[in-house]
């Protein structure tokens, strides 16, 4: 009886998932030495680590996942196709030999047998470039070698001796890498997540974020959606957000909350945030106090983002919470507004909406489970007011019952 052929792609899929998780693990490892290092995927290689300032590759990494234990073959596809990839990606045969190559690392779950050139290419005391190169040239030039890698081996031998030496000097074989079932344990260690009742939830949150990031790193058609790279600093910020969400630690307050000078207030006079308060008849002195909250909340939020105390996604979630509080007040206060409601009454309703919203958002934490200075919430809701010209926005905020129409008029007047 003929044996049924398997059409399962489980092994291939596991390899793709492993590459994604390995990129996260490697980024976490590098964070101990350089938090500015950045990672990207599938451009020059499976995984690439970049210099923050120049965006030059520091390391190209080939990821090879084999579920079954075994030895890494000296004539196998895992190694020789990696060599071809490096030669082509870096244009080794054309680039000036004086320029150093980035680290070229092969990460494999299999093990390099002692005494092979793969073993001599490992980092550590046994590393021997001369022996590794000589043996690689023997294997590559063997006419009896397997056909599956004949073209790749010939590609290597087509290089000049100096180019081969330069290439091999940059190679590192990292064998015995953790298999998929061990990656979480290694990742938790590299991120400094100690075992606790919340450690699994923290790790799940970080990995959920990472898989969303990976999709954007792999995007090739939509430039607006594509993410060029991710830094170790952002990863650590995500870790801190997740850890502190459970630990209940508050975000640092570095801004001194004080009255604004005339010079500081001047740039806001024609801004929508001021117009929104003028439409409900708020006196100038009260507008000044609200502008103070707005000014320092913006500065504090920018500082959090700049110093990786919080992420843009974290602030977006905070704004959604603030918008929800405003919306519940707005709908309740405007339920009886109709065509018969005069402008004075509408302004009174707008002031009530403002006052009620300020009370509700003052106690809203910028990170769940923590506490936040009241002026952060008050100023942040004004920031949403200042962006309400985008009337179709889901987060547009206003005080006057007719603020969508007034915002439209404001746009048209500004365009004239």
- Give one DSSP letter per residue of 255-269, joined into a string: S---PPPHHHHGGGT
φ and ψ at residue 198, rounded to 5 degrees: -105, -5
From 131, 88, 136, 81, select the one nearest 106 (Cα to Cα).
81
* Residue 31 clears pLDDT 80, i.e. is over it: yes
385 and 287 Cβ atoms separated by less than 8 Å: no
3-state secondary structure of 231: strand
- Domain range list for the chain: 10-243, 262-415
- Check residue 54 and give its pLDDT: 87
Mean per-residue pLDDT for 235-251? 85
Mean per-residue pLDDT for 299-322? 92
The pLDDT tens digits of the residues spanning 154-185 come to 999 999 999 999 999 999 999 999 999 999 99
The pLDDT tens digits of the residues spanning 185-218 come to 999 999 999 888 788 889 999 999 999 999 999 9
DSSP secondary structure, 140-206, as one string: HT-TTS-GGGHHHHHHHHTS-HHHHHHHHHHEEEE-SPPPHHHHHHHHHHHTT--SSTTHHHHHHHH
- Check residue 1 and give its pLDDT: 46
Mean per-residue pLDDT for 81-98? 86
Is the whole-model pTM more than 0.75? Answer: no
Q: How far apart are CA 140 and CA 298, in angstroms?
A: 61
Burial of residue 340 (CB within 10 Å: 0-12, 13-18, 19+) is exposed
Least confidently predicted of 82-91, 202-211, 212-221, 248-257 = 248-257
3-state secondary structure of 61: strand
Q: How many CB atoms lie within 10 A of CB 113?
A: 13
Q: How far apart are CA 183 and CA 321, in angstroms?
A: 35
- Check residue 228 and give its pLDDT: 93
List, edge to edge, every strand of the sheet that includes 230-231: 171-174, 103-108, 57-64, 47-50, 38-41, 230-231
- Residue 262: pLDDT band with limits 50, 70, 90: confident
Helix, strand, coil shares of the chain, percent, nearest 5, are 55, 5, 40
Mean per-residue pLDDT for 85-96? 84
Mean per-residue pLDDT for 333-339? 95
367 and 250 Cβ atoms separated by less than 8 Å: yes
% residues pLDDT > 90 (the chain): 72
Query: Contacts by 315-318 with C-beta closer than 8 Å and gap 24+?
Result: 315/366, 318/364, 318/366, 318/367, 318/380
- Check residue 7 and give its pLDDT: 53
Mean per-residue pLDDT for 245-271? 85
Q: How far apart are CA 184 and CA 178, in angstroms?
A: 10
The pLDDT tens digits of the residues spanning 361-411 come to 999 999 887 888 999 999 999 999 998 776 455 678 999 999 999 988 887
From 387, 335, 330, 393, select the one nearest 358 (Cα to Cα).
330
Both tokens of 275, joined, read 């117009």
Rg value, the chain, Cα: 29
φ and ψ at residue 402, rounded to 5 degrees: -105, 25
From 146, 136, 218, select the one nearest 169 (Cα to Cα).
136
Both tokens of 276, joined, read 């929104």
Burial of residue 76 (CB within 10 Å: 0-12, 13-18, 19+) is middle
- Check residue 369 and give its pLDDT: 78
């Amino acid at each position: 009886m003929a044996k049924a052929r398997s059409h399962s792609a489980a092994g291939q899929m596991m390899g793709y998932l492993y590459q994604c998780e390995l990129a996260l693990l490697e980024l976490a490892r590098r964070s101990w030495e350089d938090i500015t290092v950045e990672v990207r995927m599938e451009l020059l290689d499976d995984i690439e680590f970049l210099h923050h300032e120049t965006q030059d590759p520091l390391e190209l990494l080939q990821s090879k996942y084999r579920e079954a234990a075994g030895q890494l073959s000296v004539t196998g596809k895992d190694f020789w196709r990696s060599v071809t990839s490096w030669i082509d990606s870096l244009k080794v045969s054309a680039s000036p030999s004086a320029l150093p190559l980035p680290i070229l690392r092969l990460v494999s779950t299999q093990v390099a047998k002692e005494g092979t050139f793969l073993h001599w290419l490992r980092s550590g005391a046994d590393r021997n470039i001369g022996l590794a190169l000589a043996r690689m040239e023997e294997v590559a030039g063997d006419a009896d070698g397997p056909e599956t890698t004949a073209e790749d081996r010939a590609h290597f031998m087509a290089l000049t001796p100096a180019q081969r030496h330069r290439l091999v000097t940059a190679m590192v074989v990292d064998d015995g890498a953790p298999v998929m079932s061990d990656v979480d344990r290694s990742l938790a260690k590299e991120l400094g997540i100690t075992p606790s009742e919340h450690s699994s939830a923290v790790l799940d949150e970080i990995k959920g974020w990472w898989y969303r990031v990976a999709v954007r790193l792999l995007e090739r058609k939509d430039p607006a959606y594509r993410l060029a790279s991710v830094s170790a600093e952002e990863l650590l910020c995500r870790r801190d957000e997740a850890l502190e969400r459970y630990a209940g630690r508050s975000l640092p307050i570095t801004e001194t909350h004080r009255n604004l000078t005339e010079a500081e207030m001047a740039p806001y006079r024609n801004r929508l945030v001021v117009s929104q308060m003028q439409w409900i008849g708020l006196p100038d002195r009260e507008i000044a106090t609200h502008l103070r909250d707005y000014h320092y909340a913006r500065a504090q939020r920018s500082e959090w983002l700049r110093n990786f105390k919080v992420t843009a996604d974290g602030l977006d979630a905070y704004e959604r919470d603030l918008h929800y509080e405003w919306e519940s007040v707005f709908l309740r206060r405007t339920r009886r507004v109709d065509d018969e409601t005069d402008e004075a009454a509408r302004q009174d309703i707008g002031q009530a909406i403002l006052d009620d919203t300020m009370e509700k958002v003052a106690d809203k934490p910028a990170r769940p489970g923590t506490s936040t200075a009241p002026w952060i919430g008050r100023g942040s809701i004004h920031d949403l007011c200042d962006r309400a010209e985008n009337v179709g926005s889901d987060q547009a905020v206003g005080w006057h019952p007719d603020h969508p129409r007034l915002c439209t008029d404001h746009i048209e007047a500004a365009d004239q």
